[in-house]
Structure formats: C-alpha cells, structure tokens
Amino acid sequence: MFGVIGLGIWAGMEVQKRSGMKFPLWLLLFIFISIAIAFYQLYLLIKADERDEQQNKKS
C-alpha cells in the first residue's frame, strides 16, 4: 500500500517538474489516483480473505 502511494507521489512530482505549472495539479492527481488504487487493492485482499474463511468453515 505504501509502495503504491509512494510511487504515485514520485510519478506526480516528476510529471509536475516537467510541466512547469505552479499549481501542483499533476502531483495531486497522481496522489489521489495512487490512494484509490491502494484502497482498491486492500478491498480485493480483504474480499479474498473473507472468501477463504468461508470456504474453510464449510470444510
């Protein structure tokens, strides 16, 4: 999770440097996208864990 967010911050900073804009639009955009991706991955992990627990209870 931290790796995905860190990668988003780094990518946003690089794009922001190259764009030359004063307002950190690209940085904010990449941060929010990376946070959304991290939470989606967490959601999928929890969903898979719950599915495994239900299968173990049936066995």
Count: domains in the chain: 1
> Residue 30: what pLDDT?
97
In a domain, residue 22? The reply is: yes
Read off the DSSP letter of residue 23: S
Checking if the pLDDT of 59 tops 90, the result is no
Question: Domain limits at 44?
Answer: 2-53
- Per DSSP, the three-state class of 22 is coil
Task: Burial-class residue 9 by CB neighbours within 10 Å (0-12, 13-18, 19+).
Answer: middle
pLDDT digits (tens, 9 = 90+) for 1-58: 899 999 999 999 999 999 999 999 999 999 999 999 999 999 999 999 999 888 888 7
**Residue at 19 is within a domain:** yes
Would you say the pTM of this structure is higher than 0.85?
A: no
Q: Supply the pLDDT for residue 56.
A: 84
